[in-house]
Structures are given as structure tokens and as C-alpha cells.
A = this chain, B = another copy of it.
Amino acid sequence: MPSFVQLVSVDCPKPSLQDNTGDIDRLKKNVTEKCGNVVLVPFGAMTRVAKAFRQADFNGYAVLNDCGSHYELVDFFAEQPVILPSIALDLGTTHLEASLLDLLTGDVLRQANIANGQIEFGTDILTRIHFAATDGGLSTLQKAVVSCINELVEQLAGQEGIAPVDIRALAISGNTTMVHFLLGVDPATLCREPYIPLINSPDVCHGIDLQLGVDDWAPVWIMPSVGSYFGGDLISGIIASGLDQQSGTSMLIDVGTNAEVVLGNGEWLIACAGAAGPALEGGIAKMGMRAGPGAIDRVRIDPESGQVSYQTLGDQKPKGLCGSGIIDLVAALYLSQMIDVRGKFQKKFAGDRLMDGPEGPAFIVVDGSEAADNQPVTFTQVDLDAMMRSKAAMYSILTTLIAQVGLGFEDLERIFVAGSFGKHIDPRQAITLGMMPDLPLDIFQPIGNSSLAGAEEVLRSRQARKRCLELPNKITYLELNVNQEFMIRFSGCRFIPHTDPSLFPSVPIFSE
């Protein structure tokens, strides 16, 4: 599985009157014989390659970028290096997450993350797209994200005791819009029907093209996207989960700004995306927050006493609720009958924990005295309504997708759940809410940041790079915005667990 950048051992005969080939030609000939593909030397790398090759007395290691159709020879080492550092990057709308990966071994050495500096110009993608249309806006957004990447790279390199310019390759995975911003290409057509990207699948470019602080000739792999609403981050997820290589049928669920779902196997793939995300990520609830220190990620309510117990990340005083905390909370509220099947608070059962707030009823999850900054953690009817819509959207997406291919959930071998959502969610509670199908719990498999993991895989393996380029052509994309069945299903999902409880035999139903 040759990595994105490879070292080729070179032992050239020295130049003489009888063998007066030019330095670069001598090296190219030797390397071409060894790797059996076209080898090109980019104009800007020529001088340093020639210099290093001669200084090394014509023996050493050529640095080759594997561009698929050809190799690029971009540098020369006299000695075999101890590591060949590269960066895998998940380019998120709110956060960037990166791995420092050694191309010689494929090992991840370090990881780090940083907030996306573009937030200053718009918290959501649409605002940023509009900002990009203003004078100098696109370039500002590009600079902001490049500067974040450079900061992240500097941080990781510093920790490893290397220089940023020692980094020899990058693989970047992000949604379609984030990739447009990074490349500095106009995103205007992304958000207008028929939602067409300027580019889905960019050819390999270089560090210098993007003003990255890595080696100028480090190849940059950008994960291809399928469309405006199906980005390279999801292609990355497919690569990481191996969905496209399995004989059994599985599903991949990635909850970010949207809920993105892919269904398939080694033969076929179908995907869709829908706006189920924000509430599930803790992004919409008044006291919602990202999964981080002080976030409540587990909630239980004793049905007898009504006693609420919880757990926070980092064992800190509670500040708010992350996605999995919200799901747990709503499931617990249902199981203790404090909300009814329609997701409305029931004063009869909730009792004192329900107070009247400016936005109507609010449930006190944590009393002020126990909470960080003495601010009680509450969950309002408005939050609950948003959550009900999100869970309904999620289940509607899943059922619409699986019905489209004539299968049922029972046909699934596995459900991969990506991201921090997948990491923290308790599938049992998600089933109770009717958000996830009522399947044995071991079917659900959290796979972490699969956007990042897919980027790592691309750095390691030519096979993964090849899969990436083929995937967009193999995926059938189901547009939900114009899908009638989805709308019908959505209505049926607005009960807990569902208007048809037979779909969820494991969930208790309470008579009114």
C-alpha cells in the first residue's frame, strides 16, 4: 500500500566524460527504472533536487509524490530519514482536527485541534458563503483557514521536535464549502439551486499553492466531494469504515451540521443528507454545548423518585448539555413519563423540576447550587420541540434511505456512527427516542472522527486514494428536499418512539 510520498533508494553511477548525462536526467532515469511510471520534476523543485543529489554524491533517497498518473520527484535525501512526517486534517466548519502521521510506518504520532478562525466571519456556512461574495471576502476566508492550519501544523511539529517545513504531505477532508474556501474558489453556486460546486475532485496541488507552512512541494490531497451537500468528509468516512469493501450491507451515520447517511456494501452505495444535526450536536438547545469539559453527557431519572443523576465530561461542574446528554435526558424524561409521546412536558410527573421560564416550561436538570457559575442547567419546551424534530428527521432519513433499496433495518450488518456524536451517544437511549432503529446494540459501532481517519488512510495507502476517486461515481445520491416519502415519514416520527410503536418493540409504551 504505497504511501502518498515515497522514498526510493538511489545509487547512481557518478558522472564522467563517458557518461555525461545531466544531474536531473541521471536521477530521473534511475528512479523511473525503479518505479515504472512517468516521473516529472516540477520546475520549482529542480534546483534543490539537483543540489541535494550532487551534495549526496549521487547516492541516497529520492522523495516521490505519488500523483496517481505520474510521480513527482521533489527532493533528495543523503540519508534515510527517521520519520517522514505528514498531516491528516479534518477541516470542520467549527473545528479543525489534525494528525501528525509518519509516512514510513503509517503511524499517527500526535493529534491536535483548533477552532476554525472563519467563525469570526460567520458561525454557519451560509453566512460565510455570503461573506465570500463581498469584496475580498473569499480571500479573507481562505487566509483565515490557512492560518489556522499553519498554527495547527506548527503546534504538532513543535511537539514532535521537527520544523513545519519537514512535513512532506497533507490529506484534507472537509465539506464541500470548506474545501471551496480553502482552495479560494468561488462558492456562490453551492447554495443556489441546482447547488453545483465549482469543483468536486481537485487534482493534487502543493503546499506552496495554498501558502501552507509545510514543505513547498508537499502534495496536498483534497478528499473529493459528491455534491454540495455531500462532502469529502463523508467520502473519508466511507474509507475509514470500509463500507465500500464489505460484502454485507451497512450504514454510516455522520452527524455534523447535517446528518449524512450512507448505505451500502462492496457492490453499491446510496447516500442522503438532511437537517437533523444541530439539535443532536447540542448546537441549538439553549444550554446545549459541544462535547467538552463540563458538558453533561449522561443523564438518568429514577422513575420512582424522579431523582435526576448525571455525569459530566472531565468530571467538572456542569455547564450545559452535549448531544448525547440531550438524548439521554429526553429518553429519561420519556421513561419517567415527565414528557408524553408527543414530547410535551407533563407537570403531573415532572413536578417541582418544571419551572415557568420566559420561553414557557423549562426542566431543571441541575440546580444552580451544583452547577458551574451557579447557573442552573435547564431544558426548555422549545429545546424539546427542536429535539423532537431532529430525532424525527433522523429516523425519517434512515427509513427513507433503506426503503429506497427495498431493504429493512434487519438486513444491516452494522451501523457505523461517526464523530463525537457516535463516540458519546448511548444507542439504547437513541432507540428509546425512536431516533435509531430498534436493533441489537452490538450492531451500532462508534468509529470516532472518520473524516480524520479517512484522511490518514489516504496518506498511507494508494488503494485508499484510488477508492476515493472512484467513490463519487459509485454513490447514488438521494435528494431529500424533493422527496415526498420523506415528508410523510417525518410526520409519523413525531411521536416517541413512533406513531407505529410496533417498530420499536423494546421501548415501553405508557397508557395516558
Taking the full assembly, how many copies of this chain does it contain? 2
A69 to B482: give the CA distance in the assembly, Å: 44
Residues of B with C-beta under 8 A to A477:
20
Contact with B along A179-204 (1 / 0, CB 8 A): 00001111001000111111111110
Which of chain A's residues 216-230 have a Cβ closer than 8 Å to chain B?
225, 227-228
When the two chains form their complex, are residues A46 and B202 in contact, meaning their CB atoms are under 8 A apart?
yes
**Which segment of A35-43, A358-366, A448-456, A487-495 sits at the interface?**
A35-43
Cα distance A62–B144 in the bound complex, in angstroms: 33
- When distances are taken between beta carbons in the complex, the residues of chain B under 8 Å from A228 are 20
Q: Is the CB of B23 within 8 A of A206?
A: no
Q: How far is the CB of A495 from chain B (nearest CB, A)?
A: 31
Q: With a CB–CB cut-off of 8 A, which chain B residues contact A69?
A: 38, 40, 69-70
CA separation between A42 and B69, bound complex, in Å?
A: 14
Q: Are B22 and A198 in contact (CB under 8 A)?
A: yes
In the bound assembly, the distance between CA atoms of A20 and B47 in angstroms comes to 43
Known: A50-B186, A185-B50. A199 touches B17 (CB 8 A): no
Do B203 and A43 touch across chains, with their CB atoms under 8 A apart?
yes
User: Is the pair A193, B17 in contact by a Cβ cutoff of 8 Å?
Assistant: yes
A17: nearest residue on chain B (CB-CB)?
A: B194
Binary flags per residue of A43-54, CB closer than 8 Å to B gives 1, else 0: 110110011001
Contact between B194 and A23 (Cβ–Cβ < 8 Å)?
A: no
Task: Determine if A209 is an interface residue (Cβ-Cβ < 8 Å).
Answer: yes
User: A residues 64-81 with Cβ under 8 Å of B?
Assistant: 68-70
Is the beta-carbon distance between B24 and A198 smaller than 8 angstroms? yes
- Interface 0/1 of A412-429, CB less than 8 Å to B: 000000000000000000
Chain B residues near A482: list those with CB within 8 A: 17
Residues A199 and B479 in contact in the complex (CB < 8 Å), given A43-B209, A183-B46: no
Interface residue? A499 (CB, 8 A) = no
List residues of chain A with CB under 8 Å of any chain B CB. Answer: 15-17, 20-25, 38, 40-44, 46-47, 50-51, 54, 68-70, 183-186, 189, 193-203, 205-206, 209, 225, 227-228, 477, 479, 482
Closest 10 CB pairs between A and B? A22-B197, A22-B200, A43-B205, A24-B199, A38-B69, A15-B196, A20-B227, A43-B209, A17-B194, A25-B200
